[in-house]
Amino acid sequence: MVGFANLKEEFDKIGVSIVAASVDPIEKAQEVADEVNFPVAYGVTREQADMLGSWWEDRRQIVQPSEFVLGPDGNTIMSASYSDGPLGRMDAADIVKMVNFYESMKNK
């Protein structure tokens, strides 16, 4: 998430909002929020993870990383990534490039 925080100005320039969510209670999620410059939601439930199609890990009662890039309408999923560990997560710089690419294609 720090990678996204580091590129926050770039995201702002291209009109992209960043939001994170966690299964943690508010106090623990606030610790993460204090390290980044975008909102961090808390208390994600298994039901919510299921609605997203995310993988819920019963042993630790957590949702594995699930990342989405939504279109300008806020409803269309432009890109999604589901992971079952630390590998395969979206890279902030790649998201900036992707959004810029999609924008450039609108003008052609």
- Domain with residues 2-106, CATH architecture: 3-Layer(aba) Sandwich (3.40)
84-105 core/surface letters (b: 16 or more CB in 10 A; e: else): eeeeeebebeebbeebeeeeee
The 10s digit of each residue's pLDDT in 32-64 is 999 999 999 999 999 999 999 999 999 999 999
Confidence of residue 86 (pLDDT cuts 50, 70, 90): confident
Residue 107 binned pLDDT confidence (cut-offs 50, 70, 90): confident
